[in-house]
Structure 1
Amino acid sequence: MSVILVINSGSSSLKYSLIDIEGENELASGLIERIGQPPGAITHTVRPPLNADAVVTMLDASYSSERQVADHEAAFAVMLEQFAEHGPRLAEHPPAAVGHRVVHGGARFYEPTPITRDVEEQIDELSVLAPLHNPANLAGIRAAKRVFADVPHLAIFDTAFHQTLPPAAYTYAIDAEIAAAHRVRRYGFHGTSHQFVSESAAAFLGRDPAGLRQIVFHLGNGASVTAIDGGRSVETSMGLTPLEGLVMGTRSGDIDPAALVHLSRRAGCSIDDLDALLNTRSGLKGLAGRSDMRDILAGVDAGDDAATLAFDVYIHRLRAYAGAYIAQLGGVDVISFTAGVGENAAPVRAAAVATLGFAGVELDAARNIARERGIRRISTDASRVAVLVVPTNEELQIARQTAGML
């Protein structure tokens, strides 16, 4: 059995998944939260094995507990304890490699990369572009390399899938020398998810990705949309940072840069004030006081004016990007929705594509509201554009790419 351990290390969390890559079966997964904060929350889930007919014979077994977890190194010790106590035992399923999610790879990293000391230094240097993410990713890498010292460690970058963006798409129209000196350009994020979803959509339809024009909406608390032509990212909504683009849970998305100058001059906002405003007090939360789309939809149903406006602004931005990307692609063959909102909020999907009949989109209302698991089609059989719901699986995509580079 070829087993890959996938690590997603956040500033105060450690998410892990143990995957049998040959059968693409997740053996176990876990999440350690509130690292460095009392008390830490620990969840470990063991997946039952499949029988010969690939049928699950038992329910998942999940174990939860709380305790203080001082740092990422302590979190890895907790993870090992969870495997030893609840299974599967790592001695029986030793990882052949460890794949690490790294948010920002800049323009340097465009494929799964073995993590050397030089690569660690470059990830650290790129922290200036992702100060909330790269330092935490690096802490997880260093802790994991101490625990699993004898296996390869590979970095899978969220920005890598978007390295195929053409210059016209990634270049900002500012002074070229300043942009080059400070690496100011569009990088894009959620690339691992966009790649997984676009490949899964093509496989579901029995089509070669090379012959498809796709738009993927990754809609979670963070949200982005990508135009994919022939399996290659050609346009994406997030930019230098994950702030640009769509309206998100707490992030503004697109805004006139002069609005920030205005707030600095007239409201006395500092750089840190503006950073906090745009990243933590904007988006759905800024408009309606709630960042969760489920709360927004409940507010809409109750006639809450603020929630209704927040929903309308959110949908307006989705439609604007859909129309722009259809124009950039010269038409579209597949539109996919993924992540927490994209997979579960039927009203969002319906509203987002309601004006796309001109492009050949015809939604099936019954399919859209049906609560089913797995990838599914929600457009009518007559629709010229396939509209899909595709559950994302970034951990599996990271495991695939890690195994592919061994």
Structure 2
Amino acid sequence: MNVLVIGGGGREHALVKALSRSEHTEQIHAVPGNSSMEKYAAVHSDINDSDIERIVALAIKENITWTVIGPEAPLTAGLADALEAADIKVFGPRKLEAQLESSKAFAKNIMIKYGIPTAEYQAFTNLIDATEYIKQQGAPIVIKKDGLAAGKGVAVAMTETEALDALKEMFVEGENKPVVIEEFLEGEEFSLMVLVNGDYILPFDIVAQDHKRAYDSDTGPNTGGMGAYAPVRHIGEDVIDEAINNIVKPTAEAMVKEGLDYFGVMYLGAIITKEGVKTIEFNARFGDPEAQILLELLESDFIDVLEAVKNQEPYELKFSRDSMLGVILASQGYPKTYEKGASVIIPERLEDEIFNSGLKHIEDERYETTGGRVMLVTGRGSTLEEAKKTAYKNTEQIKFNNEALFYRNDIGERGV
């Protein structure tokens, strides 16, 4: 069968690789894709990933059986709805269901209504009331902008001054989007990917741990993710079961009760608190960079997995027993202002160890940066320590101007 992947980052690079390993795949297409995907797929860089009309036309022309949507923006734009209407199987929730990610207020309302463990919160539509609330609550406190922000529209403010500064940034003049202010939850975070179809759920057997802050020791601003590893062996099955039974399953059932029909990935960002596992956030797609790690460890045929979820059939996911760790190289200045066009040399032998998030191939081993997060450099081994050592050894072999890129040196430290 012919398949189509929507998106052009590292997560989509991983999806294309996973689909290329399926015995059912004949031809893969990627929109807009990136230069690293050309090894596996026909890349349509002239089509934007939110250009619904052209994507549907391409899917019909190329006789696409399955479309897998990677990023959140096309989901929110209603791409899944349009593909479904054209009789093309699509893995990714429709616009209504994608509100679980696209509207923090929507997600919070669902959780509060159905008693799903999460932080206490208030939503505000004006700066004066929000400012007063923060002064009443004090710090630490969490401020989230409603809507899509690629993992960066969150401020974890440790002081009242930081909170008020973040608030001013998030209340943009002319916008009418709520800002959600949450209590600060303390504990260890983890990411759980669950494949959902209505009230049917198929959780990944292993969890990953992302590193959101820009700099070592979890300092600096929140980002889309600076690295990840899996499995997280020090988080036990009892914790994962609690997350599934108390959060994921009730959320899937709540969506059904609300008259919604969720089909796709339900990404749970969770935290282990003294009161038990609580929800930090839901995303309506695979996490990035967690997807790159988890999909590489997945040994099941990805098309078989999609068909099982589509048909709500029992299915046992199979993962490698290896550990895997990835380090994000990012443009200096990310997650705020950064420059593009920096030269990067990647040795050919590392091609299969790297997931392209923001790189353009120029010639031979030379690339140029095109985004904030540039690439995920991975390492694999029988232990996490071995995987970490390999990932950082690989990272050191990539050549670039020292001022152009940066990365964290402590990815996976908790697990080791």
Q: TM-score, normalised by structure 1?
A: 0.28
Greater RCO between the two (CA within 8 Å, min separation 6)?
A: 2
Q: TM-score, normalised by structure 2?
A: 0.27
Structure ID, larger Rg: 1
